[in-house]
A and B are shown apart, each in its own frame.
Chain A
Amino acid sequence: QKEVEQNSGPLSVPEGAIASLNCTYSDRGSQSFFWYRQYSGKSPELIMSIYSNGDKEDGRFTAQLNKASQYVSLLIRDSQPSDSATYLCAVRRGSSNTGKLIFGQGTTLQVKP
């Protein structure tokens, strides 16, 4: 079992719809959770971080964390073609705020006009 798992997709949604991206992790000691967006041929760009159970909203993005279920999700409202990218879930174990990130393989999102 991989430590961080994502469905590789592609996930295809029409423009204006809600895209839901999911991630599960195996280490219950994980404390910090991140979503990165990666356009083809580019490096990962941090879009959301979440540290406690519940929802965190930033513009069209909402991150959801459920530590009991070891589950993190990212919702993108009013999806735009420019949101088409690979979304990487990353998890950090323990309390150190500079420890390494464990990444999933990413979910490819396609937003169709």
Chain B
Amino acid sequence: EAGVVQSPRYKIIEKKQPVAFWCNPISGHNTLYWYRQNLGQGPELLIRYENEEAVDDSQLPKDRFSAERLKGVDSTLKIQPAELGDSAVYLCASSSGNEQFFGPGTRLTVL
């Protein structure tokens, strides 16, 4: 069974530029999560989807971050414009029950 797929794996951009991350969850997993992990810290949830509905986006900085999961399968997370403090690893996870499984992540560097 294929795991969670994310792309790109690495992204380097200058501040104020836009950036987008893509995630394809494990087949059959209805719940999709975007987490952000800063160096030396645990992941922190940005947004959670149940199918195509965003059910928890309380920690998503909505002035610059947006996300979508239009058909309830793959998802895109966008930052526009990026700031220096957005440098982190952006992790996508999916679940069909109690356990969440993470993708490889996208390491974003904002210069």
From B56, B98, B104, A42 is in contact (CB under 8 Å) with: B104
Residue of B at shortest CB range from A101? B100
Chief secondary structure at chain A's binding surface: loop
Is B43 touching A44 in the complex (CB atoms < 8 A)? yes
Is B25 engaged at the interface, CB distance under 8 Å to the other chain? no
Is A90 engaged at the interface, CB distance under 8 Å to the other chain? yes
How many residue pairs link A and B with beta carbons under 8 A? The number is 54
Residue of A at shortest CB range from B89? A43
Which residues on B sit within 8 Å (CB–CB) of A88?
42-43
Chain A contributes a number of interface residues (CB within 8 A of B) equal to: 23
**Which chain B residues (77-111) contact chain A, with CB distance < 8 Å?**
89, 91, 95, 97-105
Q: How far is the CA of A40 from the CA of B70 in the complex (A)?
A: 33
Q: How far is the CA of A22 from the CA of B76 in the complex (A)?
A: 35
Q: How far is the CA of A44 from the CA of B105 in the complex (A)?
A: 10
Q: How far is the CA of A51 from the CA of B97 in the complex (A)?
A: 13
Which residues on B sit within 8 Å (CB–CB) of A98?
31, 48, 50, 95, 97
Specify which of B33, B91, B98, B104 lies most central, judged by the most chain A CB atoms within 10 Å of its CB.
Answer: B98
Which residues on B sit within 8 Å (CB–CB) of A27?
none
Interface residues, chain B, CB within 8 Å of chain A?
A: 31, 33, 40-45, 48, 50, 56, 89, 91, 95, 97-105
